[in-house]
């Protein structure tokens, strides 16, 4: 982390709102891109970024610097997403599926409107259960260890290992099926 960022964090913890604003602005794109990959839904990602920013404002004093600021944001954002998913359990399953499909259509449209091909890998990733998708992303894209992911998700590292392995197997299976089909 740069000295400038550390100084901003220190000032933000002392109640300097402009330091906190610029810190959040600096990490906005990173956070949004993380949440796009986690949710596969741009609208939901935007909503969750906003909630994460608010939570970060409330909890900035609890940040102790043991992890990078971006990892801290990832932890907050992931937990907010998991809480949101739990609340959605009460909603009808078809409604959730419809929303998820709408999100994927929106990302797909973005690819196609720029003349780029939609990817089978991303399609398969979007079909994974969210817990497996988050575990695969954190392990194989963001490079966290199983223990670190366990701390982020508040589950034992053995559970993370099995989610990653199940997720990768599922992805491989879907891609092989698509390749054969």
Partner 1 sequence: MEKDKDKEPELYLHKLSDELDRLDAQYNDITPPSLQELERLMVDASVHRKSMERKELLLFWGISLILISVFLSILGSAPMIYWIIQAIIPIAGLSALGIARIRRNREGAQE
Interface positions with partner 1 (CB under 8 A) = 17-18, 20-22, 24-25, 28-29, 32-33, 36-37, 42, 50, 53-54, 57-58, 82, 85-86, 89, 107, 110-111, 114, 116, 119, 121-122, 125, 129-131, 136-137, 140-141, 155, 159, 168, 171-172, 175
Closer residue to partner 1 in complex, CB, 24/74:
24
Closer residue to partner 1 in complex, CB, 67/84:
84
We find the least distance from the C-beta atom of residue 21 to partner 1, in angstroms, to be 4
Closer residue to partner 1 in complex, CB, 66/134:
134
- Which sign, positive or negative, has the C-alpha torsion 84, 40, 139, 33? negative
Question: What residues contact 55, with CB distance under 8 A and at least 6 apart?
Answer: 76, 80
* Residue 16 to residue 51: CA distance in whole angstroms: 20
The residue with tokens 């969210």 is 130
- Are the C-beta atoms of residues 66 and 7 closer than 8 Å to each other? no
Closer residue to partner 1 in complex, CB, 1/54:
54
**What DSSP designation does 91 have?**
S
């Amino acid at each position: 982390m740069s000295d400038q960022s550390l100084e901003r964090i220190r000032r933000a913890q002392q109640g300097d709102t402009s330091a906190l604003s610029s810190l959040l602005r600096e990490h906005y794109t990173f956070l949004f891109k993380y949440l796009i990959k986690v949710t596969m839904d741009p609208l939901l990602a935007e909503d969750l970024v906003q909630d994460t920013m608010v939570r970060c404002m409330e909890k900035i004093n609890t940040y102790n610097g043991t992890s990078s600021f971006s990892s801290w944001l990832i932890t907050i954002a992931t937990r907010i997403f998991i809480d949101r998913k739990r609340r959605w359990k009460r909603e009808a399953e078809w409604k959730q599926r419809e929303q998820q499909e709408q999100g994927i259509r929106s990302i797909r449209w973005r690819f196609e409107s720029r003349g780029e091909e939609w990817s089978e890998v991303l399609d398969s990733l979007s079909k994974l259960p969210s817990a497996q998708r988050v575990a695969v992303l954190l392990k194989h894209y963001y490079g966290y260890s199983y223990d670190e992911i366990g701390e982020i998700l508040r589950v034992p590292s053995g559970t993370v290992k099995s989610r990653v392995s199940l997720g990768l197997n599922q992805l491989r299976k879907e891609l092989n099926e698509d390749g054969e089909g």
